[in-house]
Amino acid sequence: MKPVTSSFSVNVDPTNPGQFFACCGLLELADRLWPNAEGWFEPDGRKFNVACGPHTLDEFIKAIATATLVHLDPEDPYSSPIRVGTPFREFDIDWWVFDQTGARDLKVWAGTMESFGIARAMQHAIRNSLLQSAEILNLGMVVTNPDDPGKKKEPFYFDARRSPNAHSLDVGFSANDLGVTSTAHPAVELLCLIGIQVARPSRTSQKRIYDYSLWTVPITTNLLLPAATGELQLPDAQKFRFENWFRTGQKKHKAFRSSVPLSNYGDQQ
């Protein structure tokens, strides 16, 4: 069998669940641009490779930064599904709406936070030239509202770098209640939203505690879900556990916390 050659790679922190699912979203979108794209992690988990022929990371970033996003339910700005369109083969992102997706518990935003508005702001931020590199998942900024650049737009809170000081007990006040803004990682937030549509974590016996597995062999998108949950039982598939944590006292808003590696599959309970 001829070895698969990487077309481009992005740098990853495998203990950041937002980055892991962002890689899943990246592969799904790559396949919707260039059918039969394959993706895999390096053995140390610090790099995610995509094989898609002669195509480049620059092409991919341009595509996601300018793709058509459709607000499917304008009467519900807070939870509306989103359609990703041209230049991709269109598909709907709606995992937080329907029970059958099995992913509703992963929703981190609540209250007046807007699904479409946040997604659009994160997409607009990806147009920044600073993000046009293999460090796209590690570059952060204060994200603004595309319709009113003088106003900030807070992210979904998929990126685990935001969770350590997100709760009022950590910083002495509620940043959420006061409308305090801070650095977001727009590519992680947008690509993770997309990635959870196609690759969810596996549940554990504890509420809001989930596991996910890396894979180090090239796979196509039809295997993303069983690969992410560990059901494929691939060799060298390192497993991680994380919490979808309540970050406000009202227990509505959540955040993905950094994960810890599991030594073996017997650690699931």
What is the pLDDT of the chain when averaged over all its residues?
Answer: 89
Tell how far CA 192 is from the center of its chain. 1
H-type helices in the chain, by residue range?
17-33, 57-66, 115-125, 168-171, 175-178, 186-198, 224-229
Would you say residue 264 lies in a domain? no
Q: What's the CA dihedral at 97, 102, 105, 110 to 10 degrees?
A: -10
Domain assignment of residue 185, given as a range: 8-250
User: Which band of pLDDT confidence, cut at 50, 70 and 90, is reported for residue 164?
Assistant: low
Q: Does residue 267 belong to any structural domain of this protein?
A: no
The pLDDT tens digits for 165-176 are 544 434 333 444
Domain count, the chain: 1
| Mean pLDDT, residues 170-192 | 68
pLDDT in tens, 189-242: 999 999 999 999 999 999 999 999 999 999 999 999 999 999 998 888 999 999
Phi then psi for residue 87, to 5 deg, are -90, 5
CA dihedral sign of residues 187, 41, 27, 211: negative
Q: Is residue 265 part of a domain?
A: no
Q: Does residue 109 sit within a domain?
A: yes
In a domain, residue 1? The reply is no
Dihedral class, residue 114 (left if φ above 0, else alpha if ψ from -120 to 50, else beta): beta
pLDDT tier at 163 (50, 70, 90 boundaries)?
low
Domain assignment present for residue 224? The answer is yes
Q: Is the dihedral of CA 146, 92, 27, 183 positive or negative?
A: positive
Give the CA dihedral 214, 216, 222, 225, nearest 10 degrees: -10
Q: Is residue 72 part of a domain?
A: yes
Q: What is the mean pLDDT of residues 41-50?
A: 97
Query: Is 266 within the bounds of a domain?
Result: no
What pLDDT sits at residue 51? 98
Q: How confident is the model at residue 178 (pLDDT cuts 50, 70, 90)?
A: very low
